Amino acid sequence: MAHLGITRIGRHNFHRVFSFSLTLSLVASAAADAPDIVWQQSPGGAITFVAFAPDQQTLASANVDRYVNLWRVSDGLLLNTLTGHSDQVRAVDFSSDSQTMASGSYDQTIRLWRVSDGALLQTLTGHTHRVWSVAFSPDGQTLASGSFDRSIKLWRVSDGALLNTLTGHGNFVYSVAFSPDGQTLVSGSQDQTIKLWRVSDGALLSTLTGHTDSVRRVVFSPDGQTLASASYDQTVRLWRVSDGALLRTLSGHSDVVYTVVFDPSGERVASGSNDQTIRIWRVADGALLLTYDQEAEPRVESLAYAPDGRFFAYGHGGTVVLARNPFAPALPGDIDQDGDVDLSDLAALLAAYGLCAGDPGYNAAADLDGSGCVALDDLALLLAHYGEGA
């Protein structure tokens, strides 16, 4: 009950701060709010990784207890538990068609699973140390994996054949990710560097230096032009892909940063740290937009944005959480801006129905199409989105 109370207060705080920032064109960065939680589940041991299926039907959470849980995004129902790994599962990723999921484990294997029924499709063996990262290519035909054996391996998904082994990192590989066009692979390592590789032949394209401790996660922006990296040096860094230039260093976390992800718009990154906070930053100028302080809760090791940008998920300790993205694109029809389109919005529209700018009682927020009058087109727009966000 105490937790629910905290959640509720956080949501109110958020709306107050958000309105305030809109009014004064200020950015609220000081408030340590709680996320607006949709659901949370605590299946067992510490959550190590979370990932949404691209169709947003399923959220996967991996944990130290050697299994992966698949959750229904809409309500947090447990759909399946994928067992078989013999040690911690450290990473999961979905194919672009949402039908296949890969998991990487301390047991040195990668497993491919059919999402619909949890059937094990393949077990990929070849790494000689813990697997820390897995990533499907955008076309779903190739899987990349990063391991404590210091190598990156590329596998053919259809038959599990090993296509290439990329070597060059001087220490553990923590993270791998494909560029959106599938041509380039990025990796982050305990050797403090980020490397870019050409997927077609495995050639090393460049090595980005600057972090002063392990690079634990590195990801491409949705447009493929920027990289974000999370490091044990307590910073998040943004890099330009074209020439490897360091664009920005995001400082503020007071302990190691485990993870960083771009939101689907590419305008923000969210980072999770051992300092128990999630921070959301604006890419354009590096401004810290929001800090969620989990306070007594354990570290935040995993984060993911839902593909449509309305939610984000994270693991803290043994709990996997689905929360609303405070910077989600506005829902058409959400007149009172409370995150859903429902009866209160319809009532607000009807109260102003037929009124035009200048009339007493005219409500510009209810004039959804900005025509100057609240009329049938606005009502139709609202009804078309009725029930969304709930």
- Residue ranges binding Ca ion (CB under 5 A): 334, 336, 338, 345, 367, 369, 371, 378
**CB burial of residue 200 (10 Å; 0-12, 13-18, 19+):** exposed
Distances (CA, A) of 356 to 120, 134, 369: 61, 55, 12
Nearer to Ca ion, 188 or 333 (CB): 333
Compute the distance between CA of residue 292 and CA of residue 285 in angstroms, rounded to an integer: 20
Q: Which is nearer to Ca ion, 303 or 349 (CB)?
A: 349
Rounded to the nearest whole angstrom, what is the least distance from the CB of residue 326 to Ca ion in the complex?
15
CB of 184 vs Ca ion, minimal distance in Å: 42
Half-sphere exposure of residue 281, counting CA atoms within 13 Å on the CB side?
A: 28
Is residue 378 a contact partner of residue 372, using CB atoms and an 8 Å limit? no
**Whose Cβ is closer to Ca ion: residue 149's or residue 345's?**
345
Q: How far is the CB of 351 from Ca ion (least distance, A)?
A: 14
CB of 356 to Ca ion, least distance (A): 9
Q: How far is the CB of 270 from Ca ion (least distance, A)?
A: 24
Q: Which is nearer to Ca ion, 205 or 381 (CB)?
A: 381
Write down the least CB distance from residue 377 to Ca ion, Å. Answer: 5
| Alpha-carbon distances of 163 from 144, 145, 152, 173, 347, rounded to whole Å | 10, 12, 11, 18, 60
Whole-number Å distance between alpha carbons of 330 and 337: 8
Measured from the CB atom, the residue of 97 and 369 that comes closer to Ca ion is 369
- Using DSSP's 3-state secondary structure scheme, residue 25 falls into coil
Number of neighbours of residue 223 by Cβ within 10 angstroms: 11
How many angstroms separate the first and last alpha carbons of the chain?
A: 22
Nearer to Ca ion, 101 or 352 (CB): 352
CB of 15 to Ca ion, least distance (A): 12
Residue closer to Ca ion by CB (options 107, 367) is: 367
Closest CA to 141 of 152, 153, 156: 156
What are the distances in angstroms from CA 131 to CA 113, 302, 315? Answer: 16, 16, 19
